[in-house]
Structure 1
Amino acid sequence: MFFQNGSISATIVPEEGGRVQSLKDQATGLEFLFQSQHLRVAQAPSLHARFQYGACAGIEECLPSVGACNEETIGGAVPDHGDFWQLPWMVEEASAKSNLSLSAQGFSRPLLFRKNIHLLGRSLRMSYSVENVGAKSESFLYACHPLLAVEAGDRIVLPEEVTSLILNYSRNHRLGQAGDTVTWPINETSSGPIDLSQTLSYESGVGEMLYTSRLNQGWCGLYRASKQQGVVLVFDTMQLPYLGVWLCYGGWPEGSEDPLQYAVALEPTLAPVGTLYDAQLQGIACELAPRASFSWTIDFQISPNGLTLEAFRGFCESLS
């Protein structure tokens, strides 16, 4: 489904997890979302479906977990990257130009997930709600999963309050072990300093996942250096207190013969962990009583073009 408003355009695929497939500036034609390049494998929605065989592109949703969880998890097992990326979403309402409402019912938990996608000026606004339609309390973890297109030399821009992150995963332990503190943007390693804010080439083979501590400022951005334009995610830290940062420069999935992922994901999230199981262990999973709901909003704001990196940072800060 294609929507445009004269400033930006978006393509949404309800049958593929309700994902946003494309987000473009209509004047410059710049595509901000990573496009699917690998061979997909048909999978029925199940606890055993593997995310790497899905689209793995655009803006997808991870709920009630990012990583897979086994039966020891309160409420039972959860599939890789959750239920909703693998489900067809029902179209509840669609306007001719700029508004779409979707919903889907989870299968690992009795959670009804709704989202409204609205083009507003130069912003794609995603308004979400999740409702517990079951008879007992349920817990969940949520992370937005926007895979953003990159080229070598692009820049990740975070609020100045972010001076370190916690490492969740680093392919070949380039940044250390899970749980290590990594300084941002420059991290000192045994091989020398690494500027984590600067994207690398596809050939670098890097794959890393990191989390911020609790944020006061709810924004993050990706600056497309050669295009002098960027995209900013804006969110309320009272709703989504943390940010996950996924750096993938040809480093995932390991052992794949398909083209490897080349993208950055800036992931507003409820908790700085990868699985619902870990969130439950730490007492930071979101709990919903029967018929209770939780709502949040994320804006994807497209900057003007012709900006320097410094001007783009100023644009990001003006949105907070």
Structure 2
Amino acid sequence: MGLHRKTIALTNSSLSVSIAPEEGGRIRSLVSQSSGIEFLTQSTNENLRLKPGYDAQFQHGACAGIEECLPTVGICDDTTAGGPVPDHGDFWQLRWKVTAQSADHVALAANGFSRPLSFQKAISLQVSGLSIHYRVQNVGQSDTSFLYACHPLFAIEPGDRIVLPPEAKTLQLTYSRAGRMGQPGDQVTWPGNGIDTVLPAETGEAEMLYTDTLSTGRCGLYRSEGKQGLILSFSPLAMPYLGLWFCYGGWPGGSAPQQYAVALEPTTAPCGTLKQAQEQGLAFQLAPGEDFAWDLGIHLTPTGITWEAFRKSIQER
């Protein structure tokens, strides 16, 4: 990953967006024009060169902004149907091709290497946010399966708040670095014990949780100091689950800079790996030539919105 690689800027009166096609096609910056808030984490690894391959580790990439996990999140070995898959999938590692571009729109595409999948996304600037249209196609000669999770690493400060749909009353815990929320497999009450409130970076915690099947595809992050919120919208018919990654200085460990971020991850399955999704019958199947499309929306509220008004805008819509 290179500090001086090409970026594409989309800007209007509400927000300024930066996209890095050569860094996995990721959205690297999303700044509110009214508050100056940067809603996305910024990479600490941008001088690193990473050669795509099965042994690439996500923590050695840009590991910031909005990235795409396809056809897995966690690494899969050769006992996985279709063969092994690298950590966080193929596409965060790849240079994406720009296929269309205008003042308020950019379209990108890339071809995977672990699976015969062609992945396309079109990012369009809206009045107060972004709309992203995704399409994945099986370009191989036989059926293939995948797990997809959007991976938006949101910048945070202590006291920021997270909002989930009102139906998300319990979450399944799949990882807790220090056991703060319990053990893998436990059901965690939301938002019991204040787990919807962001902790300081010195906390040293990291957790991964999943909702059950959703009928409402809306969630959000409220930036308390700047009094502005970001709302993420998605179709639960395409992305029936939401993953939540809370990282308050608890990953990746060692001497590297520790991540401070929250990720709200619309996903096709509440599984960390494609292999797990296959075993649970939740992997998405595509026949040769078949494709699957979905949309993601990002909306910024006006500045000055209160926490209660922001919560209601998601839960009482």
Output the TM-score relative to the length of structure 2. 0.96
Provide the residue aligned with 1:149 in structure 2: 155
Instruction: Tell whether 2:292 aligns with 1:286.
Output: no
Residues 156-178 of structure 1, C-alpha deviations (whole Å, 9 max, x = no match): 01111111100010002221211
Provide the residue aligned with 1:81 in structure 2: 88
Provide the residue aligned with 2:120 in structure 1: 114
Distance 2:260 2:120 in 1: 29
Provide the residue aligned with 1:60 in structure 2: 67
Instruction: Tell whether 2:35 aligns with 1:28.
Output: yes
Q: CA deviation at 1:43?
A: 2.0
Distance 1:11 1:274 in 2: 28
Q: CA deviation at 1:42?
A: 2.3
Instruction: Tell whether 2:107 aligns with 1:94.
Output: no
Provide the residue aligned with 2:204 in structure 1: 205
Matches within 5 A, 1:149-168: 149-168=155-174
Q: CA deviation at 1:39?
A: 6.5
Residues 80-118 of structure 1, C-alpha deviations (whole Å, 9 max, x = no match): 0000000000000000x2100000000000000000000
Partner secondary structure for residue 262 of structure 2: strand
Matches within 5 A, 1:204-223: 204-223=203-222
Provide the residue aligned with 2:295 in structure 1: 297
Residues 4-48 of structure 1, C-alpha deviations (whole Å, 9 max, x = no match): 122211100000000000011112211110111246542211000
Distance 2:313 2:167 in 1: 17
For 1:181, the aligned partner's letter is Q
Provide the residue aligned with 1:7 in structure 2: 14
Distance 1:110 1:38 in 2: 29
Answer whether contact 1:244 1:269 (CA < 8 A) is retained: yes
Output the TM-score relative to the length of structure 1. 0.95
Partner secondary structure for residue 173 of structure 1: coil
Partner secondary structure for residue 63 of structure 2: coil
Provide the residue aligned with 1:189 in structure 2: none
Distance 1:299 1:265 in 2: 15
Provide the residue aligned with 1:191 in structure 2: none
Cα RMSD of the aligned pairs, angstroms, is: 1.1
Matches within 5 A, 1:176-215: 176-186=182-192, 194-215=193-214
Provide the residue aligned with 1:137 in structure 2: 143
Residues 57-97 of structure 1, C-alpha deviations (whole Å, 9 max, x = no match): 000000000000000000000000000000000000000x2
Structure 2 segments unaligned to the other structure (5+ residues): 1-7
Partner secondary structure for residue 43 of structure 2: coil
Answer whether contact 2:166 2:315 (CA < 8 A) is retained: no
For 2:298, the aligned partner's letter is F
Residues 184-238 of structure 1, C-alpha deviations (whole Å, 9 max, x = no match): 101xxxxxxx311000000000100000000011011000011110101000100
Provide the residue aligned with 1:272 in structure 2: 270
Residues 109-136 of structure 1, C-alpha deviations (whole Å, 9 max, x = no match): 0000000000011121111000000000
Structure 1 segments unaligned to the other structure (5+ residues): 187-193
Provide the residue aligned with 1:248 in structure 2: 247
Distance 1:261 1:307 in 2: 28
Answer whether contact 1:39 1:53 (CA < 8 A) is retained: no
Q: CA deviation at 1:307?
A: 0.8
Distance 1:65 1:225 in 2: 33
Partner secondary structure for residue 309 of structure 2: helix
Answer whether contact 1:38 1:258 (CA < 8 A) is retained: no
